[in-house]
Amino acid sequence: MYAFETNQLTKTYGYRTVVNHVDLKVTQGHIFGFLGKNGAGKSTFINIVTGIIKPTSGSFKILGIEGTDDKVKKKIGVLPDYSTFYDDLTGIEHLRYFGKILGVSHSQADLIKLLEATELGDAIKTKTKKYSFGMKKKLGIAQALINNPDLVFLDEPTSGVDANAVLTIHSLIKSVAASGKTIFLTSHNLDEVEKLCDEIAIMDKGMIQEQGSMAQLRKKYQSQVTVKVKHHKIPSEQKTVLNEIFSKIARDIVWETEYTTLVADEESIIPIIHRAFARLNIDVYRIEVDEPSLEEIFLNLNTSNKSA
């Protein structure tokens, strides 16, 4: 089942098309990464599917329901990039207030537990005007979860927070997704998206340029495989045997005392390498494969688009 799906979703302003016939399906229970440069159309797309603005054409379903009505809005949570709070309300008062707006009620203990989950347990009685930017980001996440939503939109959830808080937020995102809820995540931190997301879509000029899991994206953009093997010292006669095997399946072979590096076109060489070492009773301590990161894929895609 899909948490939400769009069909030829389009938004134009005058002669400018910001979202251009987008077809996108987000699987329920997944952490879905949504990437793109500034001005790619990401915010407009999110504003459409969360009911803030209307599309020019096309359609979408949220949790199986066409469009975004009041019933659907109660089942989604949204963290915008910049959250605005009432200065004279404390964190817990804020959650209670927005809970009432959404028609949900929580005990004091439940609200405290939610604040503690976002590392705001020590600031329960602190007014938000005294919150740092990072603290406001955490309160925004707590607010997005106040109605126990089935679908959560998180726009830059870790921007402006310290390293420890990033780990806490990552853990919280994983926990929420593990409970069967769907996270739709936008972030400029590509390493974060690579680590967290089950599937990723990259938008450019209002269109989805790429979509898939990291494994699928790597397979498409990986032109070669670099394998580095850490092993026990190899006697010269055994190195000769290995070199004869490896020269048939790889190139640019570099021999070091405890490392051997090879370059090939496919990762299917890895089990061949492993069996060759095992056959000669040479201990292998580690095999590392140099794979393209999401950042490299993202830059590659943008470079291709510029030259097109």
Domains and CATH numbers, the chain: 2-219 (3.40.50.300), 223-290 (3.30.70.260)
Angle, in degrees to the nearest 10, between helices 214-221 and 294-307: 50
What's the rounded Cα separation, in Å, for the pair 182 and 185? 10
pTM for this prediction: 0.81
What's the rounded Cα separation, in Å, for the pair 242 and 232? 14
What's the rounded Cα separation, in Å, for the pair 308 and 306? 6
Residue-level pLDDT, tens digit, the chain, 308 residues: 799 999 999 999 999 999 999 999 999 999 999 998 888 889 899 999 988 899 999 999 999 888 887 788 889 999 886 667 888 999 999 999 988 888 888 889 999 999 998 889 888 889 999 998 888 888 999 999 999 999 999 998 888 788 888 888 899 899 999 999 999 999 888 889 989 999 999 999 899 998 999 888 887 877 788 999 999 999 989 999 999 999 999 999 999 999 999 998 888 899 999 999 999 999 999 999 887 778 878 877 765 555 44
Q: What is the phi/psi pair of residue 180, to 5°?
A: 100, 0
